[in-house]
Every structure is written in structure tokens, then in C-alpha cells.
Amino acid sequence: MGYRESNPIQNTCVDPERAKQLLVLNTWEGQRTLSKSKVDHYVNMMRTGQMRRVDIAIMNVNGYGSWLANGQHVLNAIIEYGNSFPVSIATYGCDTMRDAADLFATFDVHATRTQTQIIKSYKHTFDDERITSQPDRALSLCANAFWYIMNGCTFKKLSTSTPDKTLKPKLLISYPDDVAAVSKYCKGYFRKTAVVAAIIQTVRKVGAATAYTFWDAVDTGSMLRSCDPRYRLRETLINKSYRKMSTVNVYSRMDEEYRLCISAWNSWRAGKTIKNLRSTSTVDAL
């Protein structure tokens, strides 16, 4: 199982007609949106003789078909340029669609593929309906939350130089129960990595039924008194302007949001009423 170069790299010239034929293969989920400015830039470089030979990659998946993995911008530029241009075409054989997704994630030649794009490219390779039935936004939030939890519930950016860019899709595969449990909350003011991480942690701690009693109330605000920790958290998530906090760094705000969620959770579990919601002193309190 895996992927490999199935043919020697072909150094050739591609004319506009051949470019159109290759672009028919440009249907892989997660492919970047075509940038008109990038195409125009390439066309200008071709006309002025500054454009180098560019790599084009094609994935052939056994029993499924073929897809363009890299080269959509230069192919569109060749069409607009109206003349042949030298390229290198690499063809890869893939045993499964998952292997093709792994290969696709490696092509970051001109701009780094985002984690959202990589997750989207994997979605149609997942077998578990608990994952495939979720909207892309929910999957992205869950994957980010799993990464946040892995790092001790303190923010650590998944560096673009990280060798394994498929880590977040693999986390989704590893925790389908968590994805199914929290996906309904990936909306509105819950659409924050730290908040989704807090929901996952509470579900893991006491089970979905008890955790839902807390989070459903935060979601709707129904029948809550102002001293209820769930009410205080709801008001904080809706109204608090984190951009005006003294800690203005977005990643510090993420940690603060997590602390506030856990503080409200702990107070509710202890049967306490509160006038003001204050964050816990440590991010691992639960």
C-alpha cells in the first residue's frame, strides 16, 4: 500500500490544447481555488522569459481514476499565453484513495496548502459516517481542537515545516466518537477551537449525556438564572470582546477561552452559583 512514481519524469512542452486536457483531471477535493492573479503573473513571466520549467503531477489511483495533484495555475497560464511551454510531468501510482490523499498533501510547491484544504481532500477517503456526515467547518474545528488537546490545552501552531501535514486528518480518524459528539456545537459563538476542545474534554470526562446538559444550556440560554455558571459562560462567549483584552495575542485569547469554559464547567459541576466568570489558574483543571 502506498504511492510511487509509476513513470520516469517527462520533460516536455505542453501546448494550450494539452493543457486543457490535463485540466480535465483537476477535480480532486481540497484543491486550491484558482488564483487569477497568480495565473496573470505566470503569463507575464512567460512572455518576458523569466518563467522557469514548472512541475506538473498526476495521480493514478487503482480502480478509481486519475487526478491532477499539482500544476493547475501553470496549465491555465499556458492556455492564456497561447503557446507551448516547457514543463516536467511526474506520474504517480496510488494503491488507494487514502494513498492519493497522502500524496496530494505533499505538493506545496508555490504556496503551503492549508490544513482545511488537506482535511477536505481526505474527507471523501474516510469510511466512518460519523466523520463523512459532518460539514467541513465542523471537521476543521474538531481537528484543531484535537491538536490543541494534544499540546496540553495550550496553543502550539502546527508549523508549515512539520513533516507530517496529514496529522489533523489522522486525528479525525482516531476519534470519530468525539467528532460525532461535538459536531452539533460547531456553530455560532461555539466556533472557536478552544471552546470545541473544552466540549470534547467534558464529554470524555463524564459522557455525552451529562455534558450535553451543560452545553445545551450554554447554547440556548433557556431557563437560566443570571448566577448560573452556564449563563455566565454564554454571556461571555457572546458579548466579551477578546480583542480588547489586555492579553491581545490571539493564541493567548484561545487559552483564556478554554480556561473560562473549564471554570464555568467546574462551578456547575460543584453546584456553585457565580456573579462573575473568572478563568481557572491552570488549563488542565477539569
Q: Which pLDDT tens digit goes with each residue over 77-107?
A: 999 999 999 999 999 999 999 899 989 888 8
Average pLDDT over residues 62-87: 94
Give the long-range contacts of residues 159-166, CB within 8 A, separation 24 or more: 160/108, 160/112, 165/105, 165/106, 165/108, 165/113, 165/115, 165/118, 166/101, 166/102, 166/105, 166/118, 166/122
Q: Locate CATH 3.90.1530 in the chain.
A: 1-111
Q: What is the pLDDT of residue 283?
A: 54
For the question of whether the overall pTM of this predicted structure is more than 0.85, the answer is no
Are 284 and 260 a contacting pair, CB within 8 Å? no
Q: What is the pLDDT of residue 11?
A: 94
Q: How high does pLDDT run on average in the chain?
A: 86
For the ranges 44-58, 182-196, 242-256, the maximum mean pLDDT occurs at 44-58
Contacts of 65 (CB under 8 A, 6+ apart): none
Average pLDDT over residues 152-156: 73
Q: What is the pLDDT of residue 115?
A: 74
Residue 109 or 240, more confident: 240
| Res. 210: pLDDT tops 70 | yes
Q: What is the pLDDT of residue 166?
A: 78
| Res. 22: pLDDT tops 60 | yes
Question: DSSP secondary structure string, 166-224?
Answer: THHHHHHHH-HHHHHHHGGG-SGGG-SHHHHHHHHHHHHHH-HHHHHHHHHHHHH-TT-
Of the pLDDT bands very low, low, confident and very high (cuts 50, 70, 90), residue 168 is: confident
1-111 has which CATH code? 3.90.1530
Query: In this predicted model, what pLDDT tens digit does every residue of 223-253 receive, in sequence order?
Result: 999 999 999 999 988 875 544 544 445 557 7
Cα 224 to Cα 233: distance, rounded to the nearest angstrom: 11
Residue 65 Cα distances to 26, 100, 136, angstroms: 12, 11, 24
| Side chain identity at residue 63, one-letter code | G
Q: What is the pLDDT of residue 157?
A: 57
| Res. 160: pLDDT tops 70 | no
Cα 50 to Cα 46: distance, rounded to the nearest angstrom: 6
As a residue count, the chain comes to 286
